[in-house]
Amino acid sequence: ARRTLNRAFTPASIKNMFDEMLDITSQSVLKWARHGPESSINVSADFMRLTLDTIVLTAMDTRFNSFYHDEYHPFFQHFGAMFAEIQKRSNWPAWFTWMQWRANR
């Protein structure tokens, strides 16, 4: 996996992704500017949008434009649910995980 990822993140590859990254970052800054200085900003949610929009645009050449909607795109909602489940399962004892795997075969 490391060799595969290394090819994707060479300086030349990152340079090729720069325009998309700049575009998504500009969208986040414009969103903050539209709301004005008196508005509170949920930085955590906006950085989640920034990260996921950037990954989706650079990896899959797809735009979710999550800065233009209050709700997360369904893909992000499912992605978040998946990570919540992974976090929950990471605390399970090994024997329980094994039993779950055997039951779902």
The reported pLDDT for the residue numbered 59 is: 86
Structure tokens at 11: 């300086």
Predicted confidence at residue 1, as pLDDT, reads 61
pLDDT at residue 51 above 80?
yes
pLDDT surpasses 70 at 57: yes
State residue 21's pLDDT score: 94
Helix (H/G/I), strand (E/B), else coil: 92 = coil
What Cα–Cα distance (Å) separates residue 74 from each residue in 52, 64, 71, 103?
Answer: 12, 10, 9, 29
Confidence of residue 84 (pLDDT cuts 50, 70, 90): confident
* Percent of the chain whose pLDDT exceeds 90: 28
Per-residue pLDDT at 34 exceeds 80: yes
